[in-house]
Structure 1
């Protein structure tokens, strides 16, 4: 635990140190010449994603034969810590995906190159098409420091065969009837586990480590990790206590969710339902079971949506910042944005409609895209983000560990979370 905290602190120091580096504004000032290999860190090792990225890079190389791009997947649950540790060690990438939780650190520290000038000067880029709401998290001082290449609401993939086998209602029917709630979802997950032995509900990429993914559940109770100004801890507020109590009961009493240490992959038929984003839909190409995609269940506070965002930025310390910025403009231009939309909902207003998304998402129906993606983006809240995200993430993860036991006192654990968070939120 102390080692993780030290790494988190190192990550914060690395980003802060970058604020004083470079040319002040951070804009590349010289053209790159000679052979160039750009490295771009990403969190996905999905073969379909990598094929698309490599195809785009190969197309770029036809017009820029001296530039090649290597995509470097890092483990999701340690992505930001690994990335910032690389930066601290002087071997950071040229370009990087930045997850929403660490956006304030990367954008506010001066670690990234401003993109506005390059995007505006790129022929056919049409920067005005980018939705202002999508760029909010990635701007400071009126400048854009990362392109919001994915603004993706979370939905619930369901295995309709398993639910039918367990004698449960089809979630799509419950959505239509207005009775698709977390109470009902937990009940169906518990029934599947009891009658088939298969896991019920899995919050993908949570694994009792990445706690921020639980915001896809607790937001339904009106809970939040901290106040809008980021100064007040929300983990021990009544709404969060109720949400976490419901989750704890679902795991340890009703067995609606697999417990710690139990792996259950929905996409290979090991669970009845999973909370995740449409970028995972490609894993269902050869599915041997019937499936559907529905919005997140309603909570006590009603219907809601949670959005995960990722920005693509160029590191100011890159040795090839000019070439990296040019490739970013190519990677996110209208034609490639449309290609990326099959996995990562675009920030471009002209492409953010069910008909356009359906063309590049053959596995998903226009109605699914409308209800989960389009409607979700219009009403969704972004997952938690804060300055000092790496240190906060490690602190909360460690403080929540005692919660994942059958006899845990939920309120007491959440009080401890806030005790640890208070000094970090006040920085």
Structure 2
């Protein structure tokens, strides 16, 4: 029989005063990998981790009475040797937007064959609702055993006592090798110097460009510096012909600002995550450059998002497009008529050299689980190199596995040659989160303020100053 599921501790809510409304212009950006029929939200590129915070505070949660230790989760996974399956039949609930995929059902069947006492029960949710639904379930004492989440949310779950510290399990595992994870992916799932999640895959952000439009404009190849990038954007822009050099999206302005910020030598927050770092001269230079690119972008798409904006690129209205590896699969699947008319390149480099954002997904074990060992075995199974390959580049999508050993192997580029440039960018990847659970709320403000600057309602400098003022107030609340 399945073990009864009982509530063990509360999920610490955010202070309501810390909340800021998410821009109404934000819409979920879907990545579709036909090979596994998966749909995942690309909100780690923007600010969707705020949904975790907003959903919890909106429930008006109160702290647990009579429990000591606050939000400190109880240690799990202690013991000698490899983790063994339970002696009695046990069900592990798996929360994700993947459960309707034949490939994932096949994985669950293979796992059950190997561990006959464990059955995986898929708990499916639409990708665009995943963060809020999971937060609501945690608050309602009904969390799943394992959840597939936006990697940028892991630190928030960990900081609020909702996730399990995996250090004990990792030490006992012969499968999970933390040093094999790409540095930025490992950073996503690390909080308080401990591992709280297992990366499942993701992508870097690069430059897509229309080779046919470049040829028509007499441009030899993709720009490699900021100066060349603006010159190229200007050369490709002809408003009378409804053609533009680049696309920017006000509802996603904070996420796509980050590569320019890193390239300029700036950062979001201090290394210890206690102070803002986007109030420097480097950050201002990046913001001014980035906001000015709006003059080379189609106004019709300014209030749109990068998912909808793919159409402008596919139709030849835009010559250059910044996106993650997901876009390569989308172009191939949805717009086969332009095959051979586009290519990819690294983002142009700034003063600090090659820097780009990285995004991904992760597995987390929820602290409410009553079957932690069984939950771990499922997570460990999904983290095997062969399984990670099956759920990333061996699908018809274009996700990258989180393991350096797979990225440096010959198979991935043989399967998906278009991924080579994005693999090369991994060494330049910076995880787009700050090591402070309050960062998502600050990023919401930055997103709104930069968006206003793109519309010409204020300067880039005013956008950063307004954000900094509000951010310091948020951080001061402790």
Same fold (TM over 0.5): yes
Other-structure match for 2:125 = 72
1:184 counterpart = 2:234: no
1:272 counterpart = 2:319: yes
Q: Work out the CA distance in 1 between the residues paired with 2:102 and 2:217.
A: 38
Other-structure match for 1:160 = 211
**1:87 positional shift:** 2.4
Other-structure match for 1:384 = 433
Other-structure match for 1:357 = 412
> Are 1:131 and 1:349, in contact at CA under 8 Å, matched by a contact in 2?
yes
SS of aligned partner of 1:201: coil
Of 227, 233, 249 in structure 1, the residue corresponding to residue 270 of structure 2 is: 227
Of 77, 82, 96 in structure 1, the residue corresponding to residue 147 of structure 2 is: 96
Q: Work out the CA distance in 2 between the residues paired with 1:115 and 1:350.
A: 22
**1:26 positional shift:** 3.9
Of 225, 237, 241 in structure 1, the residue corresponding to residue 280 of structure 2 is: 237
**1:11 positional shift:** 3.4
Other-structure match for 1:412 = 462
Other-structure match for 2:82 = none
Structure 2 residue ranges without an equivalent (≥5) = 1-18, 23-49, 80-84
Pair 1:413–1:141, CA change in 2 (3 A): closer
Pair 1:16–1:412, CA change in 2 (3 A): farther
- For residues 303-342 of structure 1, the aligned pairs below 5 Å read 303-318=354-369, 321-342=372-393
Q: Work out the CA distance in 1 between the residues paired with 2:379 and 2:171.
A: 13
> Are 2:264 and 2:282, in contact at CA under 8 Å, matched by a contact in 1?
yes
Other-structure match for 1:247 = 290
**1:156 positional shift:** 1.4
> Are 1:10 and 1:88, in contact at CA under 8 Å, matched by a contact in 2?
no
Pair 1:3–1:380, CA change in 2 (3 A): closer
Pair 1:344–1:396, CA change in 2 (3 A): same
Other-structure match for 1:56 = 107
Note the aligned Cα RMSD (angstroms): 3.9
Q: Work out the CA distance in 2 between the residues paired with 1:389 and 1:153.
A: 21
Q: Work out the CA distance in 1 between the residues paired with 2:250 and 2:242.
A: 19
SS of aligned partner of 1:317: coil
SS of aligned partner of 1:311: strand
Q: Mean Cα displacement is larger for which, 9-18 or 216-225?
A: 9-18
1:113 counterpart = 2:164: yes
**1:382 positional shift:** 2.0
Number of matched pairs: 404
Q: Work out the CA distance in 2 between the residues paired with 1:14 and 1:121.
A: 36
SS of aligned partner of 1:330: helix
Other-structure match for 2:242 = 197
Q: Work out the CA distance in 2 between the residues paired with 1:95 and 1:121.
A: 19
SS of aligned partner of 1:40: strand
Of 191, 200, 206 in structure 2, the residue corresponding to residue 149 of structure 1 is: 200
Other-structure match for 1:177 = none
> Are 1:163 and 1:272, in contact at CA under 8 Å, matched by a contact in 2?
yes
**1:315 positional shift:** 1.2
> Are 1:138 and 1:148, in contact at CA under 8 Å, matched by a contact in 2?
yes
1:213 counterpart = 2:289: no
**TM-score normalised to the size of structure 1?**
0.78
Q: Work out the CA distance in 2 between the residues paired with 1:15 and 1:314.
A: 23
SS of aligned partner of 2:337: coil
Of 348, 353, 358 in structure 1, the residue corresponding to residue 403 of structure 2 is: 348
